[in-house]
A and B are shown apart, each in its own frame.
Chain A
Amino acid sequence: MNRPPEVPQTPQRPRQAAWHEPIIMQMSTPGARGVLPPPVEPGILAATGDSLAGLPLSVRRVTPPALPELSQYEVLRHYVRLSQETLGNDVGVQIGKGTTTLKYSPKVQEHAARLPAVADLHPLQVEETVQGILRVMYEFEGMIKDISGMDRFSFQPGGGSQAIYTNALIMRAYHEERGQFGPGGKDQVLTTIFSHPANAACPKTAGFDVVTLWPGPDGYPDLADARRLISERTAGLFITNPEDSGIFNPVIDQLVGAVHAAGGICVYDQANANGLLGITRAREAGFDLCHFNLHKTFSSPHGSGGPGSGASGATDQLAKYLPVPTVEFDGTRHWLNYERPASIGMVRGFHGAVQGVLRAWMWILSLGPAGLRSVAETAILNNNYLLKQMLAIRGVDIPYPHMRRIEQVRYTLQALFEATGVSTHDVRARAADYATHYWTSHHPFVVPEPATFEPTESSSKADLDWYAGVIREIAADAYANPAFVRTAPHNAPVHKIDPAPLDDPARWATTWRGFVRKGGR
């Protein structure tokens, strides 16, 4: 059978919706109602009299809250319009949003996650009433154990950063048990500048000092440099691999070995695992702890910034420190184990964002072992295909050009910037005119004028070609008419913002009441 013809290139570009909705606080009609609470039955009214009588005036609300008053349809339409002004992955190509693994979140998972049998479960129900969800959690733990080589997992962390924090607490508990945590003992952790900022911030929050390794000539830390920084103070290592550069550190096991030799614990941030599924694991590299983002690699949606789901994994040696409760199975029934005295306790209430675990479990059941391997291989193929097209664009380069890339690439637009004055931030704003994303980099900008793209396995060839075409066109415009690109966006829901008030205490506002108080209208 012949393939359908290619969709012809049209001069019309996709563009974002622009509804110019007022702020909801401006939409109020006094007396309007959006939903009516259930009335209290006469029997309860009669029996309870004035239920507020016992309360002192000081704790009663005197002035009603100045919430907006709207009919139900007005609320619905307003928020549907706001949703339409949001380039979620269901709508917009998110190839440009590197490090975040924005892949297709299958709808069959979403439908299941909204079933009352998941959505309406109370986290303190007795075990016999929640055997279904406990089975999902237990089975998924089995799957992710094989994917990582770790021995136990907790799904309590509410996101990737909280999982890194959880692993920092486990590292702390390990050293505390040996009387070595703190000044004069194990008080220092190592991380790399290309690892997510949480790998520095979380151990610091947990009470460690942080030493940052910088890349050597191949884009990852030189082993000799690293060894010089490892000492008896070294409590452990927090590292991503591949790092956000997209470069895989091939001597990772030697770095892990050096930290182990100093008595440290090694933590693998697997936020960038999408290109490694079924190919290489935390276990083979010698790690003691790791975490996955179920909302990235395992297809659970990102929710406009959460709830995410972080899965923290540990080897047998450290499993006793994982949060309570763990999910156990006695061959007949699943149960929750709270009797784990060495545990770090809890980092988030109850059992974490379990809906994310359900989705990840379904995702693996849909893919199977070959499908999961294909996810990794296709993510790598897509990334390298895009890389080749990107490098053909004038003004776009990569650092460490002699190294291969796994599932993402940190590019540099330094040449474009030097020639045109158009910065990577300007290109980002201009990409919004094409209804697509473009991301720069976490700070600091080690790579000048950075851009980080991660296509994932969800991108079609047509998506990749289209996205490369967008960047090519923006770059060409930058050379031809830099002022036009620098003043973008021109065709997005809003125009160039004035960022100054956001950093000015006299003008900043995160609420309408604050905005109005400062003269906004």
Chain B
Amino acid sequence: MAAWPPVHPYIPNSAPGVRGEMMRELGIASVDELLQDIPAHLRLGRALHLPEPLTEMELARHTREVLAVNRVPGDGLLSFLGGGCAQHFIPAVCDEIAGRGEFLTAYTGDTYEDHGRWQALFEFASQLGELLEMDMVSTPTYDWGQAAATAMRMAGRATGRREVLVPAAISPERLAIIRSYLHPAMEVRTVAADKSAQLEPDALADHLGPATAAVYLETPSYTGLVQVHGAAIAAAAHAAGALFIVGVDPLSLGVLAPPAAYGADIAVGDLQPLGIHMNYGGGLAGFIALHDDPRLVMELPTRLAGITTTAVPGEYGFGEVAFGRTSFIEREKGKEYVGTGTNLWGIVAGVYLALLGPQGMRELGEGIMRRTRYAMDRIAAIPGLSVADAAETHFKEFVVSFAGTRRTVAEVNRELLARGIHGGHDLARDWPAVGPSSLYCVTEVHRQADIDRLVDALAEVTRS
């Protein structure tokens, strides 16, 4: 019979001598003696049905082999996928800091144990605060959808009202998250944008009223459209006693005005564009920012990393701001719920903003807008293809319609893939009404030659 337990590299006290020593110290012959409070009828009573163990070398090789069949954007695959997560340039320093074992394996120590973690989170919030021109920034949340949903519930509590107005043309995944998060406390009313994805203040008129807790706008929209009526929408919302919440791509803010400049009370969005790998969606990380209005700050459910002084003059320390709000203290009487969020991505986003600086953010934003415009114009010139809202300014994303061809998006994408290109996201499942269309995304990773290659391939595969 093999020795029990097997000696495993991850388990120091599986070494037989030391284990025996510890068991002698406890006066036990078997760990089973420590398990007597678990009744027999609750025991599994058999070995788990799991594969037999691999050594580290075998495991590393097996993992590489399993993953090798993935086709990877930027690694042999030219990709134009967006829709809430996108391929971006990741500075090496971002990866270096994300991989620091100290940050990677820390959790929730306070400033005495994790001073650097607190400072990095405070610096993330400080830099995002500059980008957004807002004084109060939360530690990161799960993702944009959660951040938006929480902002809406904050508005509901702050106003005592239960309706939010949301543009119909938002990410269907995000809308699904918002809907389930608001139910049954609040209701979501979708507001269709007239003709284009450009939300007009008039479209709100029939919906805004004494029940409206908040109006929510996204810019750029899910379809990449830069919204130009933010100030008028803010005024209409405020006139009705509602809050104005804006979802925004932080990468656009070197060029586009921060939502606070046109009246936003709360800004939300995702940090993934700021130096974070997509991770098949695991790179999402939401943010929530607002003005330093205590009434609204006290409605935040999340942790807030605040700065303070210490017993030594000139020294900074950190701690939880108004922690009594949270469910950590108040359980079901706290604001919503809180738990492990996405702090590592917040730290990385701070590194990214420090690297880019104001000039970098402007250049990057302008570059993306030019590449997007270039791609839109060239694709729109392909016979049978059209681009939605083509005359208006887009950031990163735009919708291409294939209605003028006799091809479905699935067919087009299949043929693009055979040419090493992942085409835009097929909108057929979520937005069947728009006809055969797909959402294309262009970022700073795309060179002119990449866009030209896409255009040539699209022309070829849609040629009748």
Contact present for A120 and B23 (CB under 8 Å): no
User: C-beta contact mask, B28-57 vs A, less than 8 Å → 1, else 0?
Assistant: 000100111111011110011111111010
The answer on a CB contact under 8 Å between A112 and B139 is no
Report if B238 contacts A (CB, 8 A).
no
**A223 interface residue (CB < 8 Å to B):** no
* Beta-carbon contact of A35 and B360 below 8 Å: yes
Contact assessment for B44 and A302 in the assembled complex, using a CB-CB cutoff below 8 Å: no
How many residues of chain B get a CB closer than 8 Å to chain A's CBs?
219
- CB nearest neighbor in A for B294: A505
Apart from A47-B374, A62-B261, A354-B280, 11 more pairs, CB < 8 Å: A38-B367, A83-B103, A85-B116, A86-B106, A118-B279, A122-B422, A125-B71, A133-B70, A201-B334, A212-B331, A278-B44
- With contacts A35-B91, A59-B226 taken as known, whether A201 is within 8 angstroms of B336 at the C-beta atoms is yes
Q: Kindly provide the distance from the CB of B374 to the nearest chain A CB, expressed in whole angstroms.
A: 5
Among the listed stretches A363-371, A410-418, A471-479, which one makes contact with chain B, having 4 or more residues with CB under 8 Å of it? A363-371
Contact A202 B59 (CB under 8 A): no
Cβ–Cβ < 8 Å partners of A406 in chain B: 37
Q: Given contacts A371-B6, A373-B47, are A124 and B315 in contact (CB under 8 A)?
A: no
Is residue A9 contacting chain B, with contact meaning CB distance below 8 A? no
A306 and B425 in contact (CB under 8 A), knowing A34-B355, A67-B131, A143-B50?
no
**Interface readout for A210-229 with B: 1 if CB under 8 Å, 0 if not?**
10100000000000000000
User: Is A511 a contact partner of B137 (Cβ separation < 8 A)?
Assistant: yes
Residues on B with beta carbons closer than 8 Å to the beta carbon of A362? 59, 63
Q: Would you give the shortest CB distance from A314 to chain B, in whole angstroms?
A: 16
Smallest Cβ distance from B382 to chain A, in angstroms? 15
Contacts of A399 in B (CB 8 A): none
Q: Are B119 and A82 in contact (CB under 8 A)?
A: yes
User: Which residues 55-86 of A have a CB within 8 angstroms of B?
Assistant: 55-56, 58-62, 64-70, 72, 75-76, 78-86
> 20 A-B residue contacts at CB 8 Å?
A34-B360, A35-B355, A36-B360, A37-B363, A51-B393, A52-B393, A68-B127, A97-B108, A110-B99, A110-B104, A122-B280, A247-B37, A346-B145, A348-B284, A349-B284, A354-B281, A381-B26, A381-B31, A437-B113, A461-B18
Cβ contacts under 8 Å, B83 to chain A: 124
Q: Cβ of A108 and Cβ of B59 under 8 Å apart?
A: yes
What's the nearest-Cβ distance from chain A to residue B418, in Å? 11
Q: Which of A38, A436, A503 contacts B324 (CB 8 A)?
A: A503
Whether B48 pairs with A83 at a CB distance below 8 angstroms is no
Among A88, A372, A512, contact of B104 (Cβ-Cβ < 8 Å): A88
| Closest 4 pairs (CB-CB, A-B) | A161-B339, A350-B281, A85-B116, A123-B281
A494 to B319, CA, bound (A): 12
A328 interfacial contact with B, CB 8 Å: no
A498 interfacial by beta-carbon distance below 8 Å? yes
**In the complex, A501→B316 CA distance in Å?**
12
A349 — which chain B residues lie within 8 A by C-beta? 84-85, 143-145, 171, 173-174, 177, 281, 284
User: Is there an interface contact between B105 and A366, defined as CB atoms closer than 8 Å?
Assistant: no
Give the contacting residue for B12; candidates A75, A364, A459; CB below 8 A: A459
Contacts of B106 in A (CB 8 A): 86-89, 302-305
CB distance from B117 to the nearest CB of A (A): 4
Contacts A112-B60, A352-B282 given; does A102 touch B107 at CB 8 Å: yes
- Whole-angstrom distance between the alpha carbons of A356 and B338 in the complex? 20
Shortest Cβ distance from B79 into A: residue: A122
| CB <8 Å contact, A55 and B228 | yes
State whether the Cβ of B432 lies closer than 8 Å to any Cβ in chain A: no
Which of the 9-residue segments B187-195, B206-214, B346-354, B397-405 touches chain A? B346-354
A85 CA to B102 CA, complexed, in Å: 8
Interface residues on A, range: 35 or more
Q: In the complex the two chains form, what is the Cα distance from A444 to B415 in whole Å?
A: 60
Q: Does B146 contact A (CB under 8 A)?
A: yes
Contacts of A164 in B (CB 8 A): 337, 339
> Residue A129 at the B interface, CB < 8 A?
yes
Q: Does B377 contact A (CB under 8 A)?
A: yes
Closest B residue by C-beta to A76: B93
Q: Are B120 and A82 in contact (CB under 8 A)?
A: yes
In the bound assembly, the distance between CA atoms of A371 and B79 in angstroms comes to 41
CB distance from B334 to the nearest CB of A (A): 6
Q: Which of B38, B103, B253, B305 contacts A61 (CB 8 A)?
A: B253
* Given A75-B355, A403-B37, residue A25 in contact with residue B89 (CB < 8 A): no
Partner of B126, one of A126, A375, A512: A512
Cβ contacts A374-410/B at 8 Å (1 or 0 each)? 1101101110110010000000000000011010000
Q: CB distance B362 to A493 under 8 Å? A: no
| Interface presence of A90 (CB below 8 A) | yes
Q: For B81, give its contact among A117, A125, A487 (CB under 8 Å).
A: A125
Chain B residues whose CB sits within 8 angstroms of the CB of A429 once the complex forms: 112
Interface string of B293-331 (1 = CB under 8 A from A): 010010000011111111110011111111110011111
Q: Are the C-beta atoms of B47 and A374 separated by less than 8 Å? A: no
CB-based contact A124/B43 at 8 Å: no
Given known contacts A23-B119, A65-B254, is B142 in contact with A97 (CB within 8 Å)?
Answer: no
| A511 pairs with B143, CB closer than 8 A | no
Give complex CA distance A57, B210 in Å.
Answer: 32
